[in-house]
Amino acid sequence: MWRRLVGAQVRSQLQYRRSFALDAFGSFWISFVDFLIILTIFHNVSHLNAWNVHEVAFLYALSAITFALTDLFIGHLDQFPQLIRDGNFDIVLVRPRGTLFQVVAADFASRRLARVLQGVVVLVYALWSLTIHWTVWRVIVLLASLPSAVVIFSSIWVCGACIAFWTTDGGEFTNAFTYGGTTMAQYPFDIYATWLRRLLGFVIPLAFVCYFPALFVLGKPDPLGLPRVLDFVSPAVALAAAIVAGLVWRFAVRHYRSAGG
Amino acid sequence: MRLDWEIAKRGWGRYAAYPWATAAGVFTNTVFGFLYAYVLLAVYAHRTSVGGFDKADSVTYVWLAQSMIMTVYVFSWWELAWRIRDGSVATDLLRPLDPQRYWLAYDLGRAPYHFFFRGLPPFVFGALVFQLHYPTVLDAIAFVVSLVLAVVVSFGFRFIYNSVAFWLLDFRGVVTFSTSVVIFFSGMAIPLRYFPHTLRVVCYALPFASIIQTPVDVWLGKRTGLALLGFLVLQAFWAIALLGLGRILLGRATRKLVIQGG
């Protein structure tokens, strides 16, 4: 079902080739700015705490790729307040499919693939310049971290979108945790103040997006001295985040009062 | 003048109508302020000065930039482009009022709202937590002048990239790309002072520096005497040049305009 819905959208978007190319070009550059910030910083210093430019590039790439994938699948939730305001969510409620599924599958913006590509370019650069001693476990942790990060970002996005059930013009609150979240995850967590790390790293589990898996893959000691078991728990954290997001969504839908007349 | 004032009031009112959107925006800017403040503080674990900015300068820069983000409207502005695309611009052109003047007045009404309600609160949060650099009375006055010029330069550029919609209906990519240019070359993303020397010199000459970096430099007291005057004149030059270019584009477009829709 999802494949048919998304396939139809991709085909229709590719009908307008020039539009698609220009959109993808714009998306590619705007996501590249975040990486230029990192390069500019490392033009002035060789390390941020104990992290060199290649290691931060690795963090950046993991955060950028997984966030871009999340954006590709459910970035449409940014327009969710509009759906509520227009009363069109009522249509979603009467159809015999899951509500969240319908809202999410309604838009698949292929141009956002350009952002994924931009992250992949940086990942290739990072892997090429780092000397990682690959072991089976490191490969497993790296591969497991990608879907985990997508699930964590998605859960944050869904919880944020639920705000729209109560106020339709507070959508930007979500940006602090989605766009703010990917920005935060691009840098080593030990540079942040303790209160910020606790709040955004653990209560909102952004530290599990790439900081802990990256520590393990790069074979770095944890500058924060936390238990090393945290390096492996990202999938479990992702599962917990997804359950919480599902419950929040169900709670919000049950309390929905239509704006439409 | 009376008309401009009425239009400006509408610009203010349009944004004042959504207090929750304002609160949400303040929250987001504050979160980003904290993130970038700690990132730049980590730079100063290894250095005492970067391009003439010390620790307090850089943290002040972060909060000023987050506070100015909406006042100078760094992000994508689409309103004119959408009106061109759906054909409403035809109605605008029929009115006995120039569209560029209309949108400029509207923007100059919008900017003070964003300054007071989107700009001041995040800065206060930043000031409560970090040691910031505050201007002298003279620099504060110069900052206000510089900020007004920054809004006009930003508007001039936004008007130009929106005008692209007269020729290109797939304008979304152009707008996104233009926004990324502003974010990086204005000093919004990272101070221009962190750039390698040659790039920095080039960037200071471009119009984008007038949008964020110049007002920040003025606030921090990095420009005094003739240099201060020189930078304000440069801002005024870019404001006039970009408005002029927008004017030419509008003139060309209206001569060959094909209206979309029936």
Residue B260 included in any domain = no
Q: What is the pLDDT of residues B23-32, one digit of tens each?
A: 999 999 999 9
Residue A220 included in any domain = yes
Q: Provide the domain count of chain B.
A: 1
| Predicted complex ipTM | 0.91
Residue B46 included in any domain = yes
Q: Provide the domain count of chain A.
A: 1
Closest Cα in chain B, distance from residue A92 (Å) = 25
Residue B82, pLDDT above cutoff 60: yes
- Looking at per-residue confidence, does B172 or B189 come out higher? B189
Residue B7 included in any domain = yes
Residue B261, pLDDT above cutoff 70: no
A29 → closest Cβ in B39, B45, B177: B177
At residue B218, the pLDDT reads 97
What's the mean pLDDT in B238-260?
88
Cα A144 off chain centre by:
15
What's the mean pLDDT in B126-155?
96
Q: Which of residues 157-216 of A touch B (CB under 8 A)?
A: 167, 169-173, 175-177, 179-180, 183-184, 187, 191-193, 196, 200
At residue B69, the pLDDT reads 95
Mean pLDDT of chain A: 88
Q: Which of residues 93-122 of A touch B (CB under 8 A)?
A: 111
B42 → closest Cβ in A24, A30, A49: A49
In this complex, do B170 and A45 lie within 8 Å of one another by their Cβ atoms? no
What's the mean pLDDT in A171-193?
91
Three-class SS state of A225: coil
- Looking at per-residue confidence, does B47 or A2 come out higher? B47
In this complex, do A26 and B177 lie within 8 Å of one another by their Cβ atoms? yes
Residue A14 included in any domain = yes
Taking CA atoms, B245 is separated from B72, B128, B171, in Å, by 19, 43, 18
Taking the C-alpha atoms of residue A96 and residue B154, their distance in angstroms, rounded to an integer, is 48
Identity (one letter) of the amino acid at A214? A
Residue with structure tokens 């960037």? B203
Q: How confident is the model at residue B185 (pLDDT cuts 50, 70, 90)?
A: very high
Residue A259 included in any domain = no
Considering chain B, what percentage of its residues have pLDDT values greater than 70? 98
At residue A259, the pLDDT reads 61
Taking the C-alpha atoms of residue B188 and residue B64, their distance in angstroms, rounded to an integer, is 10
Residue A260 included in any domain = no
Residue A237 included in any domain = yes
**What is the span of the domain harbouring residue A83?**
2-254
Count of C-beta atoms within a 10 Å radius of residue A109: 16
**What is the span of the domain harbouring residue B202?**
2-255
Mean pLDDT of chain B: 93
The answer for residues whose C-beta is within 8 angstroms of residue A223's C-beta and 6 or more apart is A49, A50, A188, A190
Residue B23 included in any domain = yes
Q: What is the pLDDT of residues A119-157, one digit of tens each?
A: 999 999 999 999 888 999 999 999 999 999 999 999 999
At residue A247, the pLDDT reads 94
At residue A44, the pLDDT reads 95
What's the mean pLDDT in A13-20?
73
What's the mean pLDDT in A81-104?
80
At residue A121, the pLDDT reads 94
- Most confident range (mean pLDDT) of A83-87, A93-97, A222-226, B190-194 is B190-194
Taking CA atoms, A76 is separated from A29, A169, B65, B179, in Å, by 20, 16, 28, 20
Residue A243, pLDDT above cutoff 70: yes
At residue A34, the pLDDT reads 92
Q: How confident is the model at residue B258 (pLDDT cuts 50, 70, 90)?
A: low
Q: What is the pLDDT of residues B188-226, one digit of tens each?
A: 999 999 999 999 999 999 999 999 999 999 999 999 999
Residue B227 included in any domain = yes
Taking the C-alpha atoms of residue B246 and residue A113, their distance in angstroms, rounded to an integer, is 33
The sign one gets for the Cα dihedral A191, A193, A196, A198 is positive
At residue B68, the pLDDT reads 96
Question: If interface means Cβ-Cβ distance under 8 Å, which residues of chain B face chain A?
Answer: 18, 20-21, 23-25, 27-28, 30-32, 34-35, 38-39, 41-43, 45-47, 50-51, 169-170, 172-177, 179-181, 183-184, 189-190, 194-196
| pTM for the full predicted model | 0.92
What's the mean pLDDT in B101-126?
96
